Amino acid sequence: MKILITGGCGFIGSNFIRYILRNHPEYNLINLDALTYAGNLENLRDIEGDDRYTFIKGRIEDQRLVREIINEVDSVVHFAAESHVDRSIMNVQPFIETNIIGTTNLLEAIRDSSVKRYIHISTDEVYGSLGESGRFTEETPLAPNSPYAASKASADLIVRAYYETYDIPAIIVRPSNNYGPYQFPEKFIPLMITNIIEDRPIPLYGEGRNVRDWLFVEDNCRAIDLILHNGRIGEVYNVGGNSEKRNIDIARAVLRIMGKGEEMITFVKDRPGHDYRYALDSSKLERETGWRPSTEISEGLKRTVDWYRENEWWWRPLKDRLIRESRGFWER
């Protein structure tokens, strides 16, 4: 099989590429990535020179380029996206261009191709916010509350429309909050870990009571692999980690692992439209494929802390650049 992976130099995309090459040695992969701020060739340094892997620098908004590549592949796994809520609040335009227009461009190219599977990677944030109880199912109405979530929900609806109208072989995947190696250091868990290494405070929005369902990135890659091969065309699949935790409890767990006290926590003004709680019901995926998350949150956090401690060469240049370019908004 030959697969186009968009956004393969990002966090989840690079982990997925590595996972596929390890578990399907007969496959060939094309990675299309624009190398914007979160795309990093260093994420895949270890597979440079592998003749099963081809990197192409380019944007999914480039119609000519996308059509050329689509005609070479059997399947598409679409990770490429602007994905940081804080950045979407400051400037929504890149989210519209990449997440909506770029996705539509991919679908248009697939209409005229022989692609057999299009796997669209979405997010649990399209569902909006939960109260104290319940979980999102695949039938939960979409109710996004941030510009980022709205752009992803829009893309999901466009994918659905192309499936219904043009019979595009699409499947939508909605994972919960991923964490693990190679995650960009502006995100919650790597920001905490790298700040602690640098003996800097770790910022928490509000009182740290917001709840997220945490999913180790390797478990997510395994789920996407199963959906790529066994998922039903036209369906939506939730991928949850069964690890609901308040942000403050994640912070405390990371501090314990790293031998630091809670005095390092700094509470900051909450961001606009901050969803209280996300939780996913993954029973459909479990029922159809047998998938279940295999990494407990305690183990996953320990592995993630160890990785960032051992790979300062990777994250320090990124964090230095963020400090220079963003004037610290990402660490508020």
Residues with catalytic roles: 124-125, 148
Phi then psi for 93, rounded to 5 degrees?
-55, -45
Burial class (CB in 10 A: 0-12, 13-18, 19+), 23: exposed
Q: How far apart are CA 207 and CA 89, in angstroms?
A: 20
Backbone dihedral angles phi then psi of residue 168, each to the nearest 5 degrees: -65, 135
CA angle, residues 166, 2, 74, in degrees to nearest 5: 20
Among 296, 197, 192, CA closest to 247 = 192
- The DSSP line for 43-60 is GGGGGTT-TTEEEEE--T
Tell me whether residue 199 is exposed, middle or buried, using C-beta atoms within 10 angstroms of its C-beta: 0 to 12, 13 to 18, 19 or more. exposed
Rounded Cα gap, residues 165 and 296, in angstroms: 41
